[in-house]
Amino acid sequence: MAKQLKPIEQSPGTDISLLGDEHVRVYRETNGETGYLWNGVPSLLLTFTGRKSGEARTIPIICTKVGESYIIIASKGGSATHPKWYLSVSENPNVEVQVKAEKFKAVARTAASPERELLWAEAVKAWPNYDLYQSRTTRVIPVVVIDPVRT
């Protein structure tokens, strides 16, 4: 008998009126005037190469700036599996990022302990729901560091 998975409820207080492709479209059209702040927290557009398709994919994702880098969390709302974007970025870490109107190339890497815990704490300050997401799963949710490539 297959295990019944309970649906993941929307996190408390989350406005989901701007999601996915619509979020990307509006963010790009307005250079982040609309979409940079999502539920009161900053977000960026992450463009990566799909690991199976080889095609460019863009997602909006909450971010936390630490120094010159951006931190993103591969939470998938606390799902038992990693998000597809994380699997793709793990395979090909060369990405493009848009933060408001600024666009740049970057390299993504997964933070390891003890850096992971320090960065997780910073991300939770901005989006406390990450702790809720972690409580929903047994996997350790990856913390991804996006390091800009400055030329």
Residuewise pLDDT in 10s, the chain (151 residues): 443 433 334 444 455 567 789 999 999 999 999 999 998 999 999 999 999 999 999 999 999 999 999 999 999 999 999 999 999 999 999 999 999 999 999 999 999 999 999 999 999 999 999 999 999 999 999 999 999 998 7
Residue 62 is assigned to a structural domain of this protein: yes
Q: Is 110 helix (H, G, I), strand (E, B) or coil?
A: strand
Residue 15 is assigned to a structural domain of this protein: no
CATH code of the domain in which 81 resides: 2.30.110.10
Range of the structural domain that residue 125 is part of: 20-148
Q: Please tell me the predicted confidence (pLDDT) of residue 79.
A: 96
Residue 88 is assigned to a structural domain of this protein: yes
Token pair 């398709």 in the structure block, residue? 53
Residue 5 is assigned to a structural domain of this protein: no
Question: Which token pair is 22?
Answer: 């619509």
Q: Please tell me the predicted confidence (pLDDT) of residue 151.
A: 74
Say how far apart CA 72 and CA 43 lie, in whole Å.
Answer: 9
Q: Please tell me the predicted confidence (pLDDT) of residue 127.
A: 95
pTM strictly above 0.85: yes
Residue 10 is assigned to a structural domain of this protein: no
Q: Please tell me the predicted confidence (pLDDT) of residue 25.
A: 94
Residue 7 is assigned to a structural domain of this protein: no
Percentages helix, strand, coil for the chain (3-state, rounded to 5) are: 25, 30, 40
Say how far apart CA 22 and CA 131 lie, in whole Å.
Answer: 27
Q: Please tell me the predicted confidence (pLDDT) of residue 20.
A: 82
Q: Please tell me the predicted confidence (pLDDT) of residue 12.
A: 44
